[in-house]
Structure 1
Amino acid sequence: MKAFIFPGQGCQKEGMGKELYEYFPETREFFEKANDFLGHRITDVMFHGSELELMETRNTQPAVFLYEVVLAMTQKEMYPDVVAGHSLGEFAALVVNGCLSFEDGLNLVLNRALIAQKVCEKYETAMGAVIGFPDEYVEKRLQEISNESGEPIYFANYNGPGQVVITGSKKGIKIACKAFKAEGAKKAIPLAIGGSFHSPYMEEARVELGKIIEETKFRKPLVPIYQCVDGKRHEDPVEIKNNLIYHITNPVRWTDMVKNMKNDGITEYYEVGTDDTLQKIVARMCPTDKISSLWDIPTYNSIKSLKIE
């Protein structure tokens, strides 16, 4: 059984999507719909823009979402048995499995970006990566460090055994990273992300975005999705909608998502993105399974070696 896995924010790259637009004419409808909906040519930013332009709030999340949806819908060799998305990637997964329309998915992603940005600007918050400790140890120490320092610190992403992302106040993340480094972490560093995604800091965003999600039509999906909020498999559109409402304030349980997919018989994982971020994580957890990029399947062989000027 096959899973399509969709990475989140951070996989954006200069020139992303240009090959798809040039060599697959059927994709142009999606790209142009996005341009019209967003009110500016996101394709110009994706194909020709600088890294700084791609990092702008109104561009980053829509660009990643658009690229992933188009890439998944372009290939003709296979269709997934299940889908799963890491953070932002969950929105692309919900379009690909038919639960959301393309336009509704794009609308939610744009609003998610803009609403979250407003909240980020209100608080001095940050995120950090901690590698080399069991999740349980990090959870325990986060609570202790938070209590000792008086700074709010939370778990943001359970990315894989021994690989997590923490979030909270900017001061709290600095204190926590320094403590974990002193305790022997392989890596404990603040990330170049302004904000505290997947934490209680996003409660205002959850309420505002939740109203938009509530008004959005969710259909019966063609294949199940494993969702970030609980890591479990879902097919009921009401459950999926409710989980998505709490998506932005709850940690991403990617470790549980992969474990549950493996327990349910998934043996092939195809990353729908620009790089191998999720492939590396899944490979460590499922060393005997087939793990690759969607770009590795025959549909794309004819353009993989071509350079578009």
Structure 2
Amino acid sequence: MTSQESTLMEVSESETKRSPFLEALGERVRTLRSRQGMTRRAVAVAADVSERHLANLEYGTGNVSVLVLLQVSHALQCSLAELLGDVTTSSPEWLLIRELLSTRSEADLRRARVQLGEMFGEGGNAQERKNRIALIGLRGAGKTALGQRLADDMGFPFIELSREIEQFAGCQISEIHNLYGANAYRRYERRALEEAIQIYPEVVIATPGGLVSDSANFNVLLSHCTTVWLQADAADHMGRVAAQGDMRPMAASREAMEDLKRILEGRSAFYSKADLTINTSGRSEDQAFDALRTSVRQHLALPA
């Protein structure tokens, strides 16, 4: 019997011991892990816990210690409060704001976020935001190829943010993570994004797929750019990445497609905040570009 089969058997045998709280906690851990694009093994290594222990936590079984929860929260780059699902209980004002917003629609919440950004001086100029086009989505969505074509069509500069991050760091993105960690990577990402916004009033930006995982950086992007989600199903993402000869971030996973589906599921709610969505599945590059070009020009009230 393999270690994975043993883990699954232990999980199955202890299903009757689940409590609603532990089940909800496990679901939050899985969601946060997917959002970060990390395999279970990667989180276990980063948290210095066994993969079996993490599996039990994700399936809502066992009696996890507070110390292990703290280690897992550090590995997932979130607070312990967020892991426990109670981030808005830190002050009376948080509680009052949560109560005020709890029954609002997504459209109302979006308007509130934009107005708060303007109130605190973090919202971008509407006209400048309009002419900065940022493409978001998982790796393999076509952000680089379609972004370059869109920039050429509109006469805008094209920026691939990942390359800018590497220039700031002086090394490849994989080395940033290996040498300095995820927090350092997010700092470089923020610096590259802010510089692109400051320098270019008109630009097309291809963003890293995981940018939406950092709420601060994603807020900057939403506030200063017209965002377009290049959407595709998991099979198309996997096929395109494999065609490029790069299985990142799935290189160490034996269940690559399931991992990719989990990442896509975990990030889709964030990608859907984009101003525009273009589904590239089942389309050639030319067809996807035509759809992107038409949608962007209509949104910006430009002639076809």
Q: What is the TM-score normalised by the length of structure 1?
A: 0.29
**Would you tell me which structure has more strand in proportion to its own residues?**
1
Q: What is the TM-score normalised by the length of structure 2?
A: 0.30
Bigger CA radius of gyration:
2
**Would you tell me which structure has more helix in proportion to its own residues?**
2
